[in-house]
Amino acid sequence: MSTEGLRSVSSRVRVDEAFCRQLNQFPDEVLQDYPLTDDEIWALQAGDADALTQLGLDPLHAIRTAACIRSWSPVANAVATGIAWEAASL
């Protein structure tokens, strides 16, 4: 697991709005300079706080990172909306 790479991306996402937008528009290019696993890349792109926590981020940082990513990502917003819809349907 490359927790150091994940922490670096998380730190930057939370303070650099332009980086967050670039991550959502060009994820492969942005993340290529970080030592990340496929699971870490997926969790970042999805803005999945639970997955980010399971992968080693502090829960508060995971929530803040996910919120920043979801604010710019139509994919993450669709995933979050789908999850909320499924939960409401139960």
Q: Report helix angle 38-46 to 17-25, nearest 10.
A: 110
Name the domain count of the chain: 1
- Predicted TM-score (pTM) of this structure: 0.73
Q: Which range marks the domain in which residue 54 is found?
A: 3-89
Cα 40–45–48 angle (5° rounding)? 75
Per-residue pLDDT tens digits for 25-81: 888 899 999 999 999 999 988 889 999 999 999 999 898 888 888 776 555 555 554
Amino acid (one-letter) located at 68: C
